[in-house]
């Protein structure tokens, strides 16, 4: 009879699989990852909710915990620089849907360690920000876009989220006034555009709308300056409103912190002989000279100018929210001075070279039964100078 040798333990004969040995995500780390990701896929632009089946809506865990640097050196991104000391730490994990998990592991050359870390950081920062907001920081968003010359305009919603922080939009994408399909080049198209603005803002301010819940409005606008002035005249003065500026250097809408506040200078550049005939030049984004005014602004017209103090007009001057508030004060003082010096003035011919939020302020700051109406001109290269576009009066744009 043969004597059976004692069987050696499996752990001594067959070392555990390296895969099994590496997957040691602790329950706490798994919980932290789910919370930081908000239960959503962290792949950039996916954001799929992973605790509910997309079709049946049955609750469940449909997420996969993915490694940025693979748990095996020969896995995806496994040899991308120095490996983490703890391969299963939260900093090396992403919450992904199955499709995005397969995508990043099938193409590690595109979805590098650095790329995935950026996805993770951006997603988790957004979740932390949104879950930290309180109800009183809600805002309704108004987005106005129209063609400028021949070029259509658009405003990405992720830039709106960044710019409105710490406030947050109560709906996505907000109230949209998109006039890009209207070629604004004659009186009929201007009238069509103005009618569209009135209809949209009528809906925005209707009783029961979201703006009466948020009690705050954030405005993002790109379009011809005369239409922006008309838009401003239609905005309610009863709802607190923030205006935003597109910054060309960073290609975003977030107001900057600056130590160099902008100062404005107001002066009369021509006295004229007819005090009831007044023109106001706004030389801010660019310089407007007397010789640039149309021929019908004859020598009898009194001309005033509001411009920058101690710096040349330029398109990038408006960087901080405080500079916009400073313009508001300067503009009100300018209108007051004109009425004090010229008496009863029915209208002011306005020649603006201004950024979008200042154009909106020009319309919004007109006080009913106090300020003259504005006859707004616009400069066009094809028309070789300023031409009259529209009238905005103190009854909010009628």
pLDDT digits over 289-303, tens only? 999 998 878 778 999
Contact 222, 155 (CB under 8 A): yes
Both structure tokens of 136:
């009183």
- Residues facing residue 267 across a β-bridge: 305
Q: Which of 320, 258, 35, 288 is nearest to 280 (CA)?
A: 288
Tell me the mean pLDDT in the region 245-272. Answer: 90
Q: Does 13 fall in a domain?
A: no
Q: DSSP labels for 123-192?
A: HHHHHHHHHT--GGGEEEEEEEEE-BTTB-----HHHHHHHHTTSEESSSS-EEEEETTS---SHHHHHH
Phi, psi (5° rounding) for residue 360?
A: -65, -45
How far apart CA 390 and CA 227 sit, in angstroms, is 8
Range with the poorest average pLDDT among 122-131, 233-242, 274-283? 122-131
Question: What share of the chain in percent tops pLDDT 90?
Answer: 64
Tell me the mean pLDDT in the region 193-214. Answer: 88
Question: What share of the chain in percent tops pLDDT 70?
Answer: 92
Domain check: are 293 and 193 in the same one? no
- pLDDT tens digits for 113-171? 999 999 999 999 988 877 877 768 889 999 999 988 778 888 999 999 999 988 889 88
Q: Does 249 fall in a domain?
A: no
How far apart CA 343 and CA 23 sit, in angstroms, is 82
Dihedral angle of Cα 67, 73, 77, 81, to the nearest 10 degrees: 110
How far apart CA 232 and CA 357 sit, in angstroms, is 9
Query: Residue 222: its pLDDT value, please?
Result: 95
Q: Does 255 fall in a domain?
A: no
Residue 108 in this model has a pLDDT that exceeds 70 = yes
Query: Residue 23: its pLDDT value, please?
Result: 64
Domain end among 131, 150, 168: 131
Q: Does 236 fall in a domain?
A: yes
Residue 378 in this model has a pLDDT that exceeds 70 = yes
Residue 96 in this model has a pLDDT that exceeds 80 = yes
- Who wins on pLDDT, 42 or 250? 42
Q: How many domains is the chain partitioned into structurally?
A: 3
- 3-class SS at 275? strand
In the numeric block, the tokens 């028309």 are attached to 383
- 3-class SS at 22? helix
Query: Residue 344: its pLDDT value, please?
Result: 83
Range with the poorest average pLDDT among 2-6, 67-71, 84-88, 270-274? 2-6
Cα 157–chain centre separation = 6
- pLDDT tens digits for 327-363? 999 999 999 999 999 888 889 999 999 999 999 999 9
Residue 172 in this model has a pLDDT that exceeds 90 = no
- Who wins on pLDDT, 314 or 343? 314
Query: Residue 304: its pLDDT value, please?
Result: 96
Of the pLDDT bands very low, low, confident and very high (cuts 50, 70, 90), residue 396 is very low
How far apart CA 135 and CA 162 sit, in angstroms, is 17
Both structure tokens of 198:
């009135």
Query: Residue 259: its pLDDT value, please?
Result: 67
Domain check: are 180 and 297 in the same one? no
How far apart CA 293 and CA 304 sit, in angstroms, is 12
- 3-class SS at 253? coil
Question: How many C-beta atoms lie closer than 10 Å to residue 232's C-beta?
Answer: 26
Domain end among 105, 131, 157: 131
Query: Residue 319: its pLDDT value, please?
Result: 93
Domain end among 111, 131, 151: 131
Q: Does 173 fall in a domain?
A: yes
Range of the domain at 185: 136-243
- What is the greatest pairwise CA distance in the chain? 132
Contact 245, 255 (CB under 8 A): yes
Domain check: are 284 and 386 in the same one? yes
Residue 24 in this model has a pLDDT that exceeds 50 = yes
How far apart CA 306 and CA 283 sit, in angstroms, is 6
Beta strand residue intervals within the chain, DSSP E = 64-67, 93-96, 138-146, 168-169, 175-179, 217-222, 241-243, 264-270, 274-283, 301-308, 347-353, 373-380, 385-392
């Amino acid at each position: 009879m043969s004597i059976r040798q004692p069987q050696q333990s499996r752990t001594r004969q067959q070392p555990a699989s390296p895969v099994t040995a590496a997957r040691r995500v602790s329950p706490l780390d798994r919980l932290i990852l789910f919370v930081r990701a908000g239960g959503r896929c962290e792949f950039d632009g996916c954001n799929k909710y992973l605790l509910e089946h997309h079709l049946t809506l049955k609750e469940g865990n449909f997420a996969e915990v993915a490694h940025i640097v693979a748990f095996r050196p020969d896995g995806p991104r496994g040899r991308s620089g120095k490996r983490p000391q703890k391969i299963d730490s939260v900093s090396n994990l992403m919450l992904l849907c199955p499709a995005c998990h397969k995508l990043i592991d099938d193409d590690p050359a595109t979805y590098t360690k650095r790329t995935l870390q950026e996805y993770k950081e951006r997603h988790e920062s957004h979740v932390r920000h949104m879950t930290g907001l309180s109800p009183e920081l809600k805002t309704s968003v108004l987005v106005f876009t129209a063609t400028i010359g021949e070029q259509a305009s658009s405003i990405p919603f992720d830039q709106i989220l960044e710019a409105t922080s710490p406030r947050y939009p109560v709906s996505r994408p907000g109230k949209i006034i998109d006039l890009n399909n209207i070629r604004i080049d004659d009186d009929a198209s201007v009238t069509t555009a103005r009618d569209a603005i009135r209809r949209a803002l009528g809906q925005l301010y209707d009783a029961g709308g979201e703006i009466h819940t948020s009690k705050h409005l954030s405005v993002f606008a790109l379009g011809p300056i005369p239409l922006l002035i008309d838009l401003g005249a239609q905005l309610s003065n009863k709802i607190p409103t923030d205006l935003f500026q597109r910054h060309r250097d960073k290609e975003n809408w977030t107001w900057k912190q600056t130590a160099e506040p902008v100062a404005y200078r107001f002066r009369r550049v021509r006295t004229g002989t007819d005090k009831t005939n007044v023109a106001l030049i706004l030389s801010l984004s660019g310089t407007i000279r007397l010789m640039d005014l149309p021929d019908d602004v004859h020598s009898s017209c009194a001309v005033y100018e509001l411009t920058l103090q101690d710096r040349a007009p330029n398109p990038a001057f408006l960087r901080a929210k405080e500079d916009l508030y400073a313009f508001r004060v300067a503009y009100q003082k300018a209108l007051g001075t004109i009425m004090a010096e010229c008496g009863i003035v029915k209208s002011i011919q306005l020649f603006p070279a201004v950024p979008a939020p200042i154009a909106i302020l020009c319309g919004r700051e007109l006080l009913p039964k106090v300020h003259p109406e504005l006859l707004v001109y616009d400069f066009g290269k094809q028309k070789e100078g300023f031409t009259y576009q529209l009238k905005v009066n103190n009854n909010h744009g009628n």
